[in-house]
Amino acid sequence: MPFELENGLEIQDLVNGQTEHLEEYIDIYKTLFPQYVRYIPIMRKRASLSFNSMDIERWHQWLLRLNRQAVGIAGFLYNRRRNIGLLMDLAIKPEARSFVASNGERFARHVLDLAIQQLKLDALEDGMNGPLCMAAEVEHRALLEQYTRYGYVKYPVEYFEPPGTPELANITQEPDDLKKIGFGQMYVGAFPVPGNEVYVDAPKVVKEVLNAFLIDHYRLSSDHWLIQKLIAGNSEKESRDE
């Protein structure tokens, strides 16, 4: 079922068998994230399957519609093991970016706040008071600057995004293509959750964010060079701060 919001804004969460508007979601994804089209089969699978209570990740695939027109997407998840939200995708068509919510927020900021509200509901359903944060990988400096204006805190680490997940590797027809893509350097950090007395850049939170991305999502082994580089280095900082 869609969320009916203000000023003609509607959200369709395309998971748990909700596939009616999936092609609209995928069309926007292909247009605004052409470098990641390899993930589209995973999105289709995610939309068709029901949530399993044993899953670590609880996914949301939001199709954003204004006046019944698809104008954006937001893909994010609640990591139940770490009590952390991960924002994976956020994209809004240029012609819709001028939308302003009744509270004065621009479209992207408003969607981020709504996603955090959803993560709070997910956490409550799992018996938690709320997520520690909503973390995100950020590819471009301009987006980093925009997110920073919205409260995002960049971590002081040299981060690399893995080229795919084991689930993607299992369905791709050319597994070697993922190896050719390689690891892409990115920024990583987190948005605070209003009402949480948590420093999102505290070493223990940084460690959980890195674990949520690299171990739980991308499924890197504990002896992988990136795990050793980031998590081991952060553990040293955590020990010094204790």
| HEC profile of the chain | CCEECCCCEEEEECCCCCCCCHHHHHHHHHHHCHHHHHHHHHHHHHHHCCCCCCCCEEEEEEEEEECCEEEEEEEEEEECCCCEEEEEEEEECHHHCCCECCCCCEHHHHHHHHHHHHHHHHHHHCCCCCCCCEEEEECCHHHHHHHHHCCCEECCCCEEECCCCHHHHHHCCCHHHHHHHCCEEEEEEEECCCCCCCCCCCHHHHHHHHHHHHHHHCCCCCCCHHHHHHHHHHHHHHHHHC
pLDDT attached to residue 166? 78
Predicted pLDDT at 168? 80
Q: For residue 172, what pLDDT is reported?
A: 65
How much of the chain exceeds pLDDT 70, in percent? Answer: 89
Name the domain count of the chain. 1
* pLDDT for residue 174: 58
Q: Does residue 44 register a pLDDT over 90?
A: yes
Residue 232: pLDDT band (50, 70, 90) is: low
pLDDT in tens, 106-123: 999 999 999 999 999 999
Band (180; pLDDT cuts 50, 70, 90): low
- Residues 76-93 have pLDDT tens digits of 999 999 999 999 999 999
Instruction: Give the mean pLDDT of 196-211.
Output: 94
* 22-26, 133-137, 238-242: segment of lowest average pLDDT: 238-242
Residues 121-141: what's their mean pLDDT?
Answer: 97
Instruction: State the pTM of this model.
Output: 0.91
Choice among 64-78, 104-118, 147-161, 167-181 with the minimum mean pLDDT? 167-181
Kindly report the CATH number assigned to the domain that includes residue 194: 3.40.630.30
- The whole-number pLDDT of residue 165 equals 85
Question: What's the whole-number average pLDDT of the chain?
Answer: 90
Mean pLDDT of 132-152: 97
Tell me the residue range of the domain where 222 lies. Answer: 3-241
pLDDT for residue 230 = 86
